[in-house]
Amino acid sequence: MNNPSLSKRTSMTAPDNMTALLVLSDGTLFWGKGVGAQGASVGEICFNTSMTGYQEILTDPSYAGQIITFTFPHIGNVGTNDQDIECDKPRARGLILRTDITDPSNWRSIEPFNAWLVKNNLIGITGIDTRALTSHIRDKGAPNGVIAYAEDGQFDLDDLLNRAKSWPGLEGMDLAREVSCTHVYEWNEPLWQRTIPTQRFHVVAIDYGAKKNILRCLVSAGCRVTVVPSTITSEEIFSLCPDGVFLSNGPGDPAATGLYAVSTIRAILERRIPLFGICLGHQLLALTIGAKTAKMKLGHRGANQPVKDLQTGKIEITSQNHGFEVLTETLPTSAEVTHVSLFDGSNEGVRLKDQAAFSVQYHPEASPGPHDSHYLFKRFIDMIEADKASRKAA
């Protein structure tokens, strides 16, 4: 069913056959039909332009605190399975869809999408004019909002609006603590249907909200991977004797996470241990060397984002999910910009000139997304290998 045009709050009675609504903090309403679990959820409303990978997107820990608008209309059409997940449970707070969920039509499906949503307590709404909502977000920035689903169509609009207005937003939120592991563990699963190569190097991965496919890529690149909590100390990391350290992706405001992460990363740099960061890990590395981060108006979320590698001149189509950016003009002279977004010119990568450390804003593990950037994992391994050879020669 088509959704009514954007309108200000006027009524507490749901239109016929409508069982869900989205309330933005500015009072804008969207009526629709509910899917998934009943209830209400508040968060930042964002949009993702990916055409595939909805299960991976909903289980990406970087989406903690957010309600995802899918611009692609056929979300749910291939069902769900136990392989296409990026963490043990979804961290997104809800989802917004254009069309009704259809029966699954894929041989890998073991459960319909709606049943998976109910099982994971995710609230969704369909029948939304996602083009209008996306335009609203593009014009005014990502708003706070509440998504609510009730079969009886009864809603307290004043309460929902107050919840949307009073939610503090992602700036200042340290969500990495919420999604990080709580204990140290080994990860030994490679990329799908591949044998485990010889594990030549030991990499400690700091979990700020790590996606499973990043860990798989590290294993397939030849690493023995030890995953550690976000609040781990540098002394605890050094006791594990890593050949390299990886800084994972994650949600929330990097400046808030940096209050405890920066001291650990600084100690790693002082030990001159090879280091590689992705997304939040990229932002934390930048903060450690004295740069600043800021919240973006829209952020980048999708599997079709063009990035230029300034070192090779090549263009990569990348998968991205971030709402904060590193401010290039604040980087110290010891850092070099390696990648830039061709959408808006924002920073997409840095490397340190005087030691083996680099990071990228996008997601080279491509889950979902293109595989243009898988070379970065090999670059990390080559960096570790060169470091070990240098230490041995010394």
Is residue 238 scored above 60 in pLDDT?
Answer: yes
Alpha helix positions (H), 65-156? 113-119, 130-140
Query: Which pLDDT belongs to residue 193?
Result: 66
Percent of the chain with pLDDT over 90: 92
pLDDT, tens digit, 9 for 90 and up, residues 270-311: 999 999 999 999 999 999 999 999 999 989 999 999 999 999
Report, as an integer, the average pLDDT of 147-171: 95
DSSP state of 103: P
Whether pLDDT at 212 is above 60: yes
Question: pLDDT value at position 17?
Answer: 84
User: Candidates 3.40.1190.20, 3.40.50.2300, 3.50.30.20, 3.40.50.300; correct CATH number of 7-166?
Assistant: 3.50.30.20
Neighbours of 219 (CB within 10 A): 21
The pLDDT, as a whole number, for residue 12 is: 54
* DSSP for residue 345: -
Instruction: Show the tokens assigned to 254.
Output: 């990097």
State pLDDT tens for residues 68-96: 999 999 999 999 999 999 999 899 999 99
pLDDT greater than 50 at residue 168? yes
What element of type H or E holds 264?
Answer: helix 254-270
Which one-letter DSSP state was computed for residue 196?
A: P
Secondary-structure breakdown of the chain: helix, strand, coil percentages, each rounded to the nearest 5: 25, 30, 45
Place of tokens 């059409």: 77
By annotation, the residues acting in catalysis are 279, 363, 365
**How confident is the model over 95-146, as pLDDT tens digits?**
999 999 999 999 999 999 999 999 999 999 999 999 999 999 999 999 999 9
Q: How far apart are CA 243 and CA 358, in angstroms?
A: 15
CATH architecture, range 176-393: 3-Layer(aba) Sandwich (3.40)
Residue 257 has pLDDT above 70, yes or no: yes
Region 237-241 average pLDDT: 98
What does pLDDT average to over the chain? 94
Say yes or no to pLDDT of 365 above 90.
Answer: yes
Write the DSSP assignment of 23-71 as a string of letters: EETTSEEEEEEEEES-EEEEEEEEEE--SS-HHHHHT-GGGTTEEEEE-
Per CATH, 7-166 and 176-393 having the same topology is answered no
Structural domain spans, the chain: 7-166, 176-393
Question: Is the full-model pTM beyond 0.85?
Answer: yes
Q: Is the pLDDT of residue 2 over 50?
A: no
- pLDDT of 254 > 60? The answer is yes
pLDDT at 187: 97
- Which neighbouring-strand residues pair with 260? none
pLDDT higher than 50, residue 23: yes
